[in-house]
């Protein structure tokens, strides 16, 4: 495939930009329905055709055919920005806020909804690239799960 054939069309660039922006804002890929609504497509199958064409051209990757697993690849994909002192401060604040939430739940009579919130927070840390912090909270999650089961 020549470079001209591999270049995304105007509609495909619009789709790529939407996917990139969505991932940057949410930490995971958009669903086909979210793409359909955002870009005013008439059906989910139209979205599927466009996404499949982007996959064939190598601009998008879909991991394991699972939902919300779209990733932008190649030159259109932007490298993550290096951590600046401000973002390091924000990272520390986020991890500390999750820790405070754990402490609050650990000191109270735990409810299932609270445990669900903690799972979401730990998952978010992992998605945001704070895998070490997410792993450090896993043992606390297991302890709370056992406490709830009693």
- Domain-located, residue 94: yes
**32 plus 62 within the same structural domain:** yes
* Inter-CA distances, 19 with 11, 35, 59, 60, 140, Å: 12, 8, 11, 9, 34
Decide: helix, strand or coil at residue 28: coil
Share of the chain above pLDDT 90, in %: 9
**69 plus 105 within the same structural domain:** no
Task: Render pLDDT for 42-96 as a digit per residue (tens, 0 to 9).
Answer: 999 999 999 889 888 888 888 776 777 888 886 544 444 555 655 677 788 888 8
**109 plus 71 within the same structural domain:** no
The pTM is what?
0.48
Task: Give residue 8's pLDDT band: very low, low, confident or very high (50, 70, 90).
Answer: confident
Could you tell me the two tokens for 27?
A: 């930490």
Across residues 128-132, what is the average pLDDT? Answer: 80
Q: Which domain holds residue 32?
A: 7-76
* Inter-CA distances, 20 with 35, 56, 71, 76, Å: 12, 18, 8, 9
- Domain-located, residue 49: yes
What is residue 84's predicted lDDT score, i.e. its pLDDT?
60
- Domain-located, residue 92: yes
Nearest to 103 by CA among 130, 131, 140: 140
Q: How many domains does the chain have?
A: 2
- Domain-located, residue 122: yes
**100 plus 121 within the same structural domain:** yes
The Cα 39–Cα 59 span in angstroms is 18
- CATH number assigned to the domain comprising residue 57: 1.10.10.10
What does the DSSP 8-state code read for residue 27? S
Across residues 115-134, what is the average pLDDT? Answer: 84
- Domain-located, residue 2: no
The Cα 41–Cα 137 span in angstroms is 41
The Cα 41–Cα 14 span in angstroms is 12
* Inter-CA distances, 13 with 31, 53, 71, 96, Å: 17, 12, 14, 38
**140 plus 106 within the same structural domain:** yes
The 3-state DSSP composition of the chain as helix, strand, coil percent (nearest 5) reads: 70, 5, 25
The residue count of the chain comes to 150
What is residue 9's predicted lDDT score, i.e. its pLDDT?
81
Q: Which of 1-5, 37-41, 130-134 has the lowest mean pLDDT?
A: 1-5
């Amino acid at each position: 495939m020549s470079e001209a054939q591999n270049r995304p069309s105007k509609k495909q660039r619009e789709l790529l930009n939407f996917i990139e922006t969505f991932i940057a804002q949410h930490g995971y890929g958009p669903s086909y329905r979210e793409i359909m609504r955002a870009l005013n497509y008439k059906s989910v199958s139209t979205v599927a055709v466009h996404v499949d064409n982007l996959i064939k051209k190598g601009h998008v990757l879909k991991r394991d055919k699972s939902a919300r697993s779209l990733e932008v690849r190649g030159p259109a994909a932007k490298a993550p920005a290096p951590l600046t002192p401000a973002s390091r401060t924000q990272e520390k604040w986020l991890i500390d806020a999750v820790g405070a939430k754990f402490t609050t739940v650990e000191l109270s009579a735990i409810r299932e909804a609270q445990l669900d919130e903690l799972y979401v927070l730990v998952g978010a840390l992992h998605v945001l690239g704070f895998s070490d912090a997410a792993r450090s909270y896993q043992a606390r999650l297991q302890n709370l799960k056992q406490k709830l089961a009693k």
